[in-house]
Amino acid sequence: MKTNKLKPLSIVFAIGGLWDTVAGVLYIFAIGTGRLIQNPPADPFYAVFLGSFFLCFAWLQLLSSRHIRHYALNVGCLIFGRLFYVIVLYYFMIFVEDFPPTFWFTGIIDGLLALLTFYFARKGGLRLRDLFFPSSNL
């Protein structure tokens, strides 16, 4: 299978890495008690802790996007992770009393990235098995 069919997936995956880089920097430097964004409140330790995870995800996406077929499992993990985040975020905003809607836009962006990633993976010829089960045949 030609790798060119996976180029749109690589581009979307890299964009997701850039988006997670922005999130990581925001969590480390702007989100947390006593910082620019305090709604919902977060202790600075947890904000930095989450920011470090975002930067790890960003690094994985940016590097994986260079050889996307080889790292199809990373694609599947990020699809699952983004959808899980979106579901949890909107659940809290809808059903948890007084939960602030501060990050509603991140749910839209992450949902869109997850759907585009899945769409371009399938269009590029990756099967569900390729995305969610490691294989040495890629």
* 38-95 confidence digits (pLDDT tens): 777 788 899 999 999 999 999 999 999 999 999 999 999 999 999 999 999 999 999 9
The model's pTM is 0.88
Identify the pLDDT of residue 102.
86
Given a contact cutoff of 8 angstroms between Cβ atoms, the answer to whether 85 and 54 are in contact is: no
pLDDT over 50 (residue 20): yes
What does the angle CA 51 – CA 57 – CA 58 come to, to the nearest 5 degrees? Answer: 90
Burial of 90 by CB count in 10 Å (0-12 exposed, 13-18 middle, 19+ buried)? middle
**Residue with more model confidence, 14 or 99:** 14
Dihedral sign computed on CA atoms, order 81, 86, 91, 96: positive
